[in-house]
Amino acid sequence: MFLPDSTNTITAPIAAPTAISIPDLAESAIYVDFHVGIPPFNKLDKNVSEEVDTQKNAKTRAGNYHKKLLGECQLYETIKKFAANSRNRIHYKYSKPWGDSGLRVTTADIYINEYEPRMSAAAQEFLPMVQEFLDEYDNIVSAAAFQLGDLFDRTEYPSRDRVASKFYFRYAPCPINDSNDFRLKMGRDAVNLIKSHYRTHYEQCILDMQRDNWEQLHKVLTHMSDRLSVTGEDKTTFRDSLMRNALSACDLLKSFNLTKDPALEAARLKLEETLYGVTADALRDDLLLRSEVKSKVDSILKDMDW
């Protein structure tokens, strides 16, 4: 697989960044910002940490003891897991990293049809869980007192209103501005220099996005090849999500191919054609079909020199 870096001479299969201009990118892509807040309810207990060091004859602080203030609170753990899933299964799935800035971008089409509807539904599901937690907060603290025993300290628990202020679920789009968006009162040479550096940054970010596209396709193909393998009478098991995830990746790669890379699109189409009309159950029941699909997947990997 060809993975570009700043020193490569760009050749197939990844197209040169000039295949999409910065103004085109500004029109087709947007930043997406996502933040979810959950009060930590973990606290360093210095006294216990010192007690452990003393018991173990440590001459210096050898470790720290962090206690879970809520003990084993299932509702709180459910909220944390939901927040993590929202980040991993929506925000990360339907966006791409933008360089090493920590920002992520998506296309307008994906934002409208996938990202926003899913995030909106997640927000509507998140809020009732938080409300239930707040309604039960006093009982949860009482249960924690029983679970923690001598580790319990009521002064470490904030008020219900304070806790409520720490929960939030926010997401928002922001247009990508191009290098002409300089409203600085500088001399012409300074502005041109900044524009040049800004363009270089954008082109490298676009290449990084293409790198991520190729790696995503490679991951899907290798996972399918592994899961569809058959050794003698032994068949590797797989979940229905194997097919769903592969088809979803095909749709996303079509939208995220901002440079219109023909090689990436060709590989994506081959995979899409391979999966057309095929179900997970059929792959489990029909060894011949399973072998044919695996052979086509392996062929795509071989053709792309992976």
Could you count the other beta carbons within 10 Å of the beta carbon of residue 5? 9
Judge if 173 and 214 occupy the same domain: no
Judge if 170 and 228 occupy the same domain: no
Q: Is residue 143 part of a domain?
A: yes
Q: What is the pLDDT of residue 176?
A: 62
Judge if 208 and 163 occupy the same domain: no
Q: How far apart are CA 159 and CA 290, in angstroms?
A: 58
Indicate the SS3 state at residue 33: strand
Judge if 117 and 90 occupy the same domain: yes
Q: How far apart are CA 41 and CA 143, in angstroms?
A: 14
Q: Using an 8 Å Cβ cutoff, are 162 and 105 in contact?
A: no
Q: How far apart are CA 298 and CA 304, in angstroms?
A: 10
Judge if 212 and 85 occupy the same domain: no
Q: Is residue 5 part of a domain?
A: no
Q: What is the pLDDT of residue 221?
A: 92
Q: What is the pLDDT of residue 203?
A: 72
Which CA distances in Å does 256 have to 72, 112, 271? 41, 14, 16
Q: Is residue 7 part of a domain?
A: no
Judge if 142 and 124 occupy the same domain: yes
Q: What is the pLDDT of residue 98?
A: 81
Closest-CA residue to 33 (of 98, 81, 128, 80): 98
- pLDDT digits (tens), the chain, 306 positions: 434 343 333 233 433 334 444 445 555 678 888 999 999 898 765 665 566 656 666 666 666 757 889 989 999 999 999 999 999 999 999 998 887 777 888 888 888 889 999 999 999 999 999 999 999 999 999 999 999 898 888 888 989 998 998 999 998 887 665 444 444 444 555 445 545 555 665 677 777 788 888 888 999 999 999 999 877 666 788 889 999 999 999 999 988 888 888 888 999 999 999 999 999 999 988 889 999 999 999 999 888 754
Judge if 198 and 167 occupy the same domain: no
Judge if 263 and 206 occupy the same domain: yes
Q: Concatenate the DSSP letters of all residues of 66-129 into one string.
A: EEETT-S-HHHHHHHHHHHHHIIIIITTT-EE-TTSS-EEEEHHHIIIIIHHHHHHHHHHHHHH
Between vectors from CA 202 to CA 196 and to CA 208, what angle results, nearest 5°? 140
Enclosing domain of residue 196: 185-306
Cis peptide before 13 (omega within 30 of 0): yes
Q: What is the pLDDT of residue 172?
A: 85
Judge if 168 and 235 occupy the same domain: no
pTM for this prediction: 0.63
Q: What is the pLDDT of residue 183?
A: 42
Q: What is the pLDDT of residue 215?
A: 86
Q: Which of 178, 203, 225 is the last residue in one of the domains?
A: 178
Q: Is residue 27 part of a domain?
A: no
Judge if 159 and 206 occupy the same domain: no
Q: What is the pLDDT of residue 185?
A: 44
Judge if 123 and 249 occupy the same domain: no
Q: Is residue 74 part of a domain?
A: yes
Widest Cα–Cα separation across the chain: 74
Judge if 239 and 198 occupy the same domain: yes
Q: Is residue 144 part of a domain?
A: yes
The length of the chain, given as a count of residues = 306
Q: Which of 122, 146, 178 is the last residue in one of the domains?
A: 178
Q: Is residue 291 part of a domain?
A: yes
